[in-house]
Amino acid sequence: MLKTGIKAPDFTLNDKDGNPVTLSSFKGKKVVLYFYPRDNTPGCTRQACAFAGAYSGFKERNVEVIGVSKDSMKSHTNFAAKYDLPFILVSDPELEAIKAYDVWQEKKLYGKVSMGVVRSTYVIDENGVIEKVFEKAKPDTNAQEILDYLDEEK
């Protein structure tokens, strides 16, 4: 995992509509960058829906939310439409940002070891520096934890 206080690695990835999204273009605004394993799986769906439910709170605080997985743009389009997700979803099939943020790690499931995305969230400040890291984020509480953190900061 990357640590707080370092410059967030920049990236340009396509959103669900094929539009390029560049992290550095959000300079001057906080960004919540959350990495998740896969669209339409139970935990990832709960996490995305929690971010959708809390989205107005992020907007009130002038914070952009960006979800990143290795799923295709088409998968993101269907996922966003199915659950009415109002925030940006970017596709990272080449694992560019996923590896840059060190969330591509060994995982164990039922005794089987494989590589995959570890659910993690980064809060990036207005100058592009990692301000807070939520390792092994919990799908149901991650969005609220971040809002609470943003309120403590004031």
How many alpha carbons fall within 13 Å on the CB side of residue 125? 11
Neighbour count for residue 77 (Cβ, 10 Å): 18
Told to judge if 44 belongs to the known catalytic residues of this protein, a careful annotator would answer: yes
The two tokens of residue 5 are 């206080």
Strand runs (DSSP E) across 1-153, as ranges? 12-15, 20-22, 30-35, 63-69, 88-91, 104-109, 112-117, 120-124, 130-134
Choose the catalytic residue: 31, 44, 48, 80: 44
Number of other residues whose CB lies within 10 A of the CB of residue 57: 16
Residues that are catalytic: 44
